[in-house]
Chain A
């Protein structure tokens, strides 16, 4: 499965936050903060309903790079800033680009945008090993 990578290579990954994804992610991760599962609490918190766990959005960015390098076990680092929440029924497009390449390490920059063109992650950095 040897493939070569170059600075400037790009990749795209699209994920939909289906209606119950925040609840499924809560079950799998243990993050049951009510702002993720209870629309009423989401409203009281000023979030206009529930929002997806930021760490699920992070996981999708990691997934995008894992697919690009062909092995999720090669992910070595992720660094994100959550610009805007993802909500149920949002469709998030992850666009990545290789910004650095060393002997055994590939660094990508990933931006995630919802269906309205709003950034949910800006300039996330994900690194993977190539050795």
Chain B
């Protein structure tokens, strides 16, 4: 069943998220291949940059504190996309939903304590090759009001 194009332009948010140091470590190490155990995110694999988890090394580094793995941003910036595909009026079958495409733009690094506010908007709804596509654009600002992350999320609903 085709999703009604009249929902193009519908907005979701704002959603606010405070970045915490342990969450940054957990994400960087999960991506990096560590094995979480006993309440820790696990031992950092050798290839993972210490700027992402080691306070002492990061303090001496270019950013003065640990920084977020860039795509950590999805943890908070996904909210409008999640809200759109779960919006009962759109009627998306979540079991048939897969992630089709993703764009992320990072205008600055993110550090523990940053407070990110994300808003989003349905940019497009269309059908192609028997599948339905929902495209959501997001923008995340820090506590100073600067745009730090822009996202373009494309969900594909298989038929």
Name A residues whose Cβ lies closer than 8 Å to a Cβ of B: 15-16, 18, 20-21, 24-25, 27-31, 33, 35, 41, 44-46, 53-56, 58-60, 62-63, 66-67, 71-73, 75-82, 85
Contacts and interface: CB of A to CB of B under 8 A. Distances in A.
B104 A78 contact: yes
A35 B21 CA distance: 29
Main secondary structure of the interface of B (DSSP, over half): mixed
Shortest 8 CB-CB contacts between residues of A and residues of B: A28-B30, A54-B99, A75-B70, A59-B31, A28-B27, A79-B103, A73-B109, A24-B30
Interface of B: 23, 26-27, 29-36, 41, 47, 49, 51-52, 62-63, 67, 69-71, 74-75, 78, 94-107, 109, 158
B60 to A, nearest CB: 13
Nearest to B153: A55
B69 A55 contact: no
A16 B14 CA distance: 36
A25 B51 contact: no
B27 A29 contact: yes
